[in-house]
Structure 1
């Protein structure tokens, strides 16, 4: 197919994701010996063309075991970096290198080193939603589904530095009761924007709905408060990673579910349980970085071999150790 692809501040445009586009993407992927990976927050057309769709860590682990020599990661930059860390000998491409992450950007390696200096001997636990340089300064990585388990594996009398998400950190502290857990004040701008007042209003409008709440959300504490106050039955409030949401969707007996996470997740949930009415708590909870991976960007990536992701081998080796230690402390499950 022929297409004039234009670069804009919001991503590459100029391509309609029709059947011709799908055929060309598959043809080019075969030519490049590429496996196409799409995060759950991508637009439906990107999710549906991918070989695998899921959370970032699960996709990186799939990439590491794939026979393909090239990984095309339709997600944000730190995710493609993680794939490169776990697959150093493979070519890793991201359709638009400008697709960043507000959460990963909330702490850099210099800031982490300074924080570590203030707490000598502390164990550093970093969410996988961090840069390679931050992972290299980390003792153990975690996902939202195993963050509690990772922290519980650390001796109770040892200080823990948890970063970068303050809402996930608050969830871990609440579950573990650990007072020597220090939490970095970072956030995902999309999840932080899903607030408690909004959740309470939607829950009141839909009294029979289950609540699927991502622990990165600003409304997670409010959800537990609603349950504790009896405003919502406690068994309807589920604090879940993205993978956990899919597992729960397949098991739920509810006919309707309110979902508090990035709206791209609704596509996979509806595919997993087509008989359930999944609705967003906040319909504006869309990550502009995730949405930079457009059909035009994917086509350009496969045509031109752009944009390749590189991680310094020394940094990658140190970061890989933190990820591997996470996997050794129980399976990460559904990832972020």
Structure 2
């Protein structure tokens, strides 16, 4: 699989990135440890070398599984993880990084990201300069290679950039969730930040596997996802039916059509999770799809039948 430079660094990442939120199990149902470990190893076999996790995914459990799955092939992979909003004081950042290193059984984190801005989820507000100071220190010590942010606004990135180099932004971005395109995408293009899109398949909605009457148990994170609520969900179902003939022409799945569209957007790579080997192998095929200019335009138009009516709030979930 082709690789791309991460921001201004010499780190080479794949356009498809294996996401491991599900590996932490919290907020997900029906996830088996060995299945996810097998999926990570299968993804690597298929050429996906970049893996994204976070300390908050299952309170470190996802990072542990990433470590178990990839420790014997560490020299082949790029590891990205995140520090949560409640650990942004300088000493907390240092401690969180050390714990992530231990859980993933590695000496260096290739991309270390601030998961949510300070103050999110009622966390204590910490000046970004303090957090960036700690991250810069970790970078100088060789414990991290690059700094990224997630769920930041343009103004928040600009403020962070006053204190050090940011090389990536991780926002929600998919055919059905395109708020990033208004301000953030142009900024990332101008300043050479790589976008690592999360929920690239709109938490599975873009695979077309959920019917009109789909109901999720309340412990499943998707029960709170705005895209799965009427009337947006009904518009999404109609859009999927219009996308299906295009996917058929390329002899591919709806999900891989959506991923192929996403990774040709400027500066954009797509994080996509898998709960088993079969899904991991299937996802990897998206990197080989070359969409025509005409089909890209058609996909864009179909997408906007859903996204034009979305709330401007960037958070995809009604956490309440």
TM-score (normalizing by structure 2): 0.27
Q: Which has the higher contact order (CA 8 A, sep 6+)?
A: 1
Larger Rg: 1
TM-score (normalizing by structure 1): 0.26
